[in-house]
Structure 1
Amino acid sequence: MKKLIIGGISAIFLLVANPMNAQEEDQVNFSKEELKFSKVDASPMDLSLYRDKDKAAVARVIYSRPQKRNREIFGKLVPFGEVWRTGANEATELTLYKDMKVADATVKAGTYSLYTIPGEKEWVVILNSKTNTWGAYEYTDKEDKVRINVPVRKAPNTIESLSMTFQEANNGADLLIGWDDSYVKVPFKNVK
Structure 2
Amino acid sequence: MKKMIKWSLIIIVIISVGLFGAFKYMIAQTKKASPEETIIYSQVDLEISVTYSRPSKRERQIFGKLVPFNKAWRTGANEATTFETNKTIKINGKELPEGKYSLYTIPRKDSWEIIFNSKSYFWGINMRDPSKASLDREFDVLVTTVDAHKTDIITEMFTILFEKSSELSLVLSWDKTKVIIPIQLN
Higher Cα radius of gyration: 1
2:37 to 46, 52, 61: 46
Counterpart in 1 of 2:61? 72
Structure 2 counterpart of 1:70, one-letter code:
E
Gaps of 5+ in 2: 1-24, 127-133
SS at match of 1:139: coil
Structure 2 counterpart of 1:49, one-letter code:
I
Structure 1 counterpart of 2:174, one-letter code:
W
After superposition, the Cα gap between the structure-2 partners of 1:141 and 1:169, relative to the gap in structure 1 and judged at 3 Å, is: farther
4+ residue runs over 4 A deviation: 37-40
Cα distance, 1:168 vs structure 2: 1.4
Counterpart in 2 of 1:151? 147
Counterpart in 2 of 1:87? 76
CA distance in 1: counterparts of 2:135 and 2:148, whole angstroms: 23
How many pairs align? Answer: 152
CA distance in 2: counterparts of 1:133 and 1:147, whole angstroms: 21
Counterpart in 1 of 2:3? none
Structure 1 counterpart of 2:91, one-letter code:
V
CA distance in 2: counterparts of 1:185 and 1:149, whole angstroms: 10
Counterpart in 2 of 1:141? 137
Counterpart in 2 of 1:26? none
CA distance in 2: counterparts of 1:104 and 1:73, whole angstroms: 29
Structure 1 counterpart of 2:96, one-letter code:
V
Q: Is the 8 A contact 1:83 1:136 kept in 2?
A: no
Root-mean-square deviation (CA, aligned residues, Å) is 1.7
Counterpart in 2 of 1:16? none
TM-score by length of 1: 0.74
CA distance in 2: counterparts of 1:136 and 1:155, whole angstroms: 28
CA distance in 1: counterparts of 2:33 and 2:92, whole angstroms: 34
Counterpart in 1 of 2:170? 175
CA distance in 1: counterparts of 2:142 and 2:169, whole angstroms: 16
Q: Is the 8 A contact 1:59 1:94 kept in 2?
A: yes
SS at match of 1:41: helix
The within-5 A match list for 1:57-68 is 57-68=46-57
Counterpart in 1 of 2:92? 103
